[in-house]
Amino acid sequence: MNIFVCIKQVPDTETKITPNGDGTYIETTSIKWIMNPYDEFAVEQALLTKQANSGSTVTVVRVGGVKDTETLRTALAMGADDAILVEADDNLDSFMTAKALKGAIEKSGNSADVIFTGKQAIDDDCLQVPQLLAGMLNLPSVSVVVGCEEAGGKFTLKREIEGGTLEVYEVNSPAIIACNKGINTPRYASLPGIMKAKRKPLAKHSLADVGVADSDRRVKYSNFQLPPEKPPGKKFDAMDEANQASIVAEVVGLLRTEAKAI
């Protein structure tokens, strides 16, 4: 099986974010990058699928900025066989990203039997790339997948819908599967894995190499701003028994007029 995984590098959730100078994106120079957490599930699922199908290969593909390319190496250290980096800005829109992924997969010369992705990236939360990629490649896709079993090229997929109910899909390879938390427990990259990863192939392409032009941009970003600072909370003394009735009335009033919560 030719297994592909699309991974994105996103700012660490603990990183302090600031808009960049012209407000077209965030300041990326001082950011610590991590693998998008949902993509870790995708890498793990790819490796599990490989383990169950001897002779399979796992190729990880990433489109984005070239600063700190550790994410791809982490995937290689976890056990992926080779990696493709499409060098581009970090603020591509979903359409360009999907088109670049398609180009990179096609350029690899291997036709994909399955493509795993995360269900969304935790930085821009667009939730579009797997579906766009499926459209461009004309493949079936299932998203928010929490259970994945494969036998003879047929995938049985569980996806969670409103209220915790599970939908079950059967999809024949090739297909795109976008993973959600709960599908598996991602393994750590072992230290021998990290040492081995540096000898694994990593191909680099430009956007032009994979057939993406500036004119493919559908969304232009501007005016990145920090959210306004939250005003400090108000405290009320619930232990003040003598005044409890009036305190409760005041809280309820403020919840109505100020917080507009009730």
Q: How far apart are CA 248 and CA 251, in angstroms?
A: 5
Nearer to other proteins, 129 or 197 (CB): 197
Q: 89-122 burial, b if ≥16 CB within 10 A, otherwise e? A: ebbbbbbbbbbbbbbbbeebeeebbbbbbbbbbe
Strand partners, 158: 147, 168
Per-residue x/- track, 71-100, other proteins (CB under 8 A)? --xx--x-----------------------
Nearer to other proteins, 189 or 207 (CB): 189
State which of residues 70, 82, 87, 123 lies at the interface with other proteins (CB under 8 A). Answer: 70
Nearer to other proteins, 40 or 113 (CB): 40
Q: Could you tell me the smallest distance in angstroms from the CB atom of residue 70 to other proteins? A: 6
State which of residues 189, 207, 210, 212 lies at the interface with other proteins (CB under 8 A). Answer: 189
E-strand stretches of the chain: 2-6, 9-11, 33-35, 57-64, 82-87, 114-118, 141-151, 154-160, 166-172, 175-179, 202-206
Q: Is 188 in the site for other proteins (CB under 8 A)?
A: yes
Count of residues that interact with other proteins, criterion CB under 8 A: 14
Contact positions toward other proteins, by CB under 8 A? 70, 73-74, 77, 188-195, 197-198
